[in-house]
Amino acid sequence: MLDGALPVLDVRDLKTVFKTRGGEVHAVNDVSFSLRPGELLGVVGESGSGKSVTMMSLLGLLPSPPADVRGGTVMFDGKDLLRVTPEQLRTVRGGKIGFVFQDPMTSLNPVYQVGFQIMEPLRKHMGMNKRQAAERAQELLELVGIPDAKRRLNDYPHQFSGGMRQRVMIAIALACDPQVLIADEPTTALDVTIQAQILELMKELRDKLGMAVIWITHDLGVIAGIADRVMVMYGGQVVEHAPVKELFSNPQHPYTRALLKTIPKIHGARSARLTIIEGQPPIMTGAPTACPFRERCDVAFDRCAVENPPRYDLGEGHDAACFFDARTGEPRDA
Amino acid sequence: MLDDTKKPLVSVKDLKMHFPIHAGLLRRRVGEVKAVDGVSFDVFEGETLGLVGESGCGKSTCGRAVLRLYDITSGSITIDGREIGATPQPALRDMRPTMQMVFQDPQASLNPRMTVEDIIKEPLDEHTKLSDAEKREKVGELMDAVGLNRKFAKRYPHAFSGGQRQRIGIARALALNPKFIVCDEPIAALDVSIQAQVVNLLEDLQEQFGLTYLFISHDLSMVRHIATRVAVMYLGKVVELAPREGLYADPLHPYTKALLSAVPEPDPSLARATRRIILKGDVPSPANPPAGCNFCTRCPAVMDICKRVEPAYREVQPGRFTACHLYNETTNTADETAG
């Protein structure tokens, strides 16, 4: 890990609100994180926790209205991405910041050959001519482990399997040598044996190309195997953030602790009954004035209902947004 | 593991479900997708048989075929002592209360224009002669049983969350006091924190009503939790069937080994220490499976015989079945002369 190195991406107090008929939904609430060169940051959370919306906000991918990115800064390459012109943002997206989406079926255009789709960013962002782009496209397909790359460039997406399509998506994201790759649930739609292939590939590529990666998933198992640091999101907020081993061995937020207990394991002792987290995830209407997890929390007390806890620094890169100190077993000082 | 007192409630023998492929101007039949191709297993009374495999392996088709939601190509299905493999659909009606299904997508399997009460009541309307008041009372009991507030009986499915919708689906399946329920990926569409709630509910109901489950899932960790025995499918065939403990501790078939090693473990030190078996390539098309063993194109332990002779599915240890030539030493010669 390159501790102390300047972050490639630094997000501070990002806030995104959706305007709906039922009122304002605060999907992302003061989310802050930074990404160091070459590291893999895992983002975990359930659906609606705001993990995808956070990433889409910082890339300006949300339609407005209904979305309104209301505040914060996103520093990348010396510029604040929330305050650059749409043209400048376009050169960053798909160029210095690449991304891979969950569903490889819908994120490729079915009527263009995959070669054309890989060459598109090369010609737009890198100013390559057709021949150069075709050569690079072939290299990229070989890089992501697609056999017979040259011939496959002329195939259409439907001629690829799900795992192969996700490899094509990764090739497109890598086309312009990105400094940051954002992968939003890239293996969720895939089978476990294919997921294992893609995870291996990602580890290999990161070591070879040295880019920083943000990996969004709801699967704690995937995170455990691949991430350097982990950010846990709940109700549009970061509730806990720690180096991966620390998070799994020493979780401090009640939500993280409950989540780790609720998933059954494939090895080791098998519990007769699963631990459950009662209730439902919250819908974040109105500005948050209380802890979003309080209604499902087993250590909540009065303060949790009147104040939203800030992220308390616990040292060694670990922080948790909870008024209850799990180490001492007592509430933190007001 | 298997004591003699256990009776199979469901017995499936050499079940085949092939779907025709039509092509050309005259829509001639040019081939078939062998979605389920010779599957045999028993489900014992009161147990949960987990059926696992990757997408496209035929596990859902198998579950639906067992309930005769399809007209099967061939094979025998015995449920509760009655052979239903070849029974015409109208004659199956009086069997339907015994065998029910919980579907994967609670959004798609509930009619958005019916209230919760109507949804749960529908099987009662079809199959019983209860009075309206009795039906309403029964619906109330079912809602209690699955943990839904009776006050919400007049609401429509859209007013409920995913986990609650799945509870409605479960209540509907329970309405006719079934003995056997096929649960087809009942938790796949739910969030992690909600999955445990639904699984615990299924376990409680099993105990309370003495249900027998066929639990279809791709989530191997969850199947380890809920299943008594586990069957692993690959490309239309069961490759291994074993009691839970044995299967997870000591998988026999190379595909089971690869599948289990591919499951990401939520423990960083373990996840990085264990050596994964990474399978090469993709699953072949079920319309054109390879000769010999279905798994021979991806198997890390492939031998010559695997490409020629299909391995027999047989009991290799007490209670443990597998179809693999690695465990066939004694019968190799016999198979070759026979095949």
Say which of B197, B271, B279 has its CB closest to residue A224. Answer: B271
Say which of B272, B278, B282 has its CB closest to residue A196. Answer: B278
Report how many Cβ contacts below 8 Å link chain A to chain B. 124
Burial class (CB in 10 A: 0-12, 13-18, 19+), B5: exposed
Q: B197: distance to nearest CA of chain A, Å?
A: 6
Whole-number pLDDT of residue B332: 46
Q: How far is CA B221 from the centre of its chain?
A: 15
- Using one digit for the tens of pLDDT, what is the confidence trace for A9-26? 999 999 999 988 878 888
Residue numbers in A near B203 (CB within 8 A):
273
Say which of B199, B265, B268 has its CB closest to residue A274. Answer: B199
Whole-number pLDDT of residue A255: 94
Give the residue-averaged pLDDT of B169-183. 95
Nearby residues of A151 by Cβ (< 8 Å), 6 or more positions away: none
Whole-number pLDDT of residue B211: 95
Residue numbers in B near A267 (CB within 8 A):
248, 265, 270
- pTM listed for this prediction: 0.84
Which residues of chain B approach chain A closer than 8 Å at the C-beta? Answer: 54-55, 161, 163, 191-197, 199-200, 203, 218, 220-222, 224-225, 248, 258-272, 276, 278-279, 282
- Using one digit for the tens of pLDDT, what is the confidence trace for B69-117? 999 999 999 999 999 999 999 999 999 999 999 998 878 889 999 999 9
Q: Does A201 touch chain B (CB under 8 A)?
A: no
Nearby residues of B218 by Cβ (< 8 Å), 6 or more positions away: A191, A192, B52, B53, B54, B55, B59, B185, B188
Residue numbers in A near B278 (CB within 8 A):
193, 196-197, 200
Q: What is the ipTM of this complex?
A: 0.78
Residue numbers in A near B259 (CB within 8 A):
192-193
Q: Does A261 touch chain B (CB under 8 A)?
A: no
Q: Is A265 in Cβ contact with B266 (below 8 Å)?
A: yes
Give the residue-averaged pLDDT of A209-216. 91
Whole-number pLDDT of residue A78: 87
Check whether B256 has a pLDDT greater than 60.
Answer: yes
Q: Say if residues B292 and B306 touch (Cβ distance below 8 Å).
A: yes
